[in-house]
A and B are shown apart, each in its own frame.
Chain A
């Protein structure tokens, strides 16, 4: 069975880092809904995550499904490995 290259782990960590900022800002904004600086920062990282996500999905397949990612052909959403296996 073919293993994932180091590049996958590095790209994924880039996404994990940006997504983590988005989680933190989400919880912060849930209790600070008028903080314009935080909202601007949030929207900036929304754009960043789109770029990184596109890069990962083009190399390693869809990250989300139910139509939130495009599919490869054949259907590759259910390809291993899953997050707990990598």
Chain B
């Protein structure tokens, strides 16, 4: 399976005015990798699907803010 996030290490200068963010990340959601969706992919139940925002388990990619991650220890 693919990973939903990639990171890179931008160059930073000793003269940068703000504290450098040494690792930057960006989303690479599963739709970038699936190709033409094959039949019979695993599904969520209707209630789970509504909460997830998709019926298809392999396409589920929840996004949390840094604030939420810190709060829930993700």
**Cβ contact within 8 Å between A21 and B39:** no
**Cβ contact within 8 Å between B46 and A21:** yes
Could you tell me which residues of chain B, from 38 to 74, have a CB within 8 Å of some CB in chain A? Answer: 39-40, 46-47, 49-50, 54-56
Bound-state Cα–Cα, A31 to B40, Å:
14
Chain A residue contacts of B46, Cβ below 8 A: 17-18, 20-21, 45
Nearest CB in chain B: distance from A70 CB, A: 26
Q: How many chain A residues touch B (Cβ–Cβ < 8 Å)?
A: 15
Could you tell me which residues of chain A, from 24 to 65, have a CB within 8 Å of some CB in chain B? Answer: 24-25, 28, 31-32, 35, 37-38, 45
Check A69 for interface membership: any CB of B closer than 8 A. no
Interface centre among B36, B40, B47, B50 (most CB of A within 10 A): B50
* B contacts, CB < 8 Å to A: 36-37, 39-40, 46-47, 49-50, 54-56
User: What are 22 A-to-B residue pairs whose CB atoms are below 8 Å?
Assistant: A13-B47, A13-B50, A16-B50, A17-B46, A17-B47, A17-B49, A17-B50, A20-B46, A20-B50, A20-B55, A21-B55, A24-B49, A24-B54, A24-B55, A25-B55, A28-B37, A28-B55, A31-B37, A35-B39, A37-B39, A37-B40, A38-B39
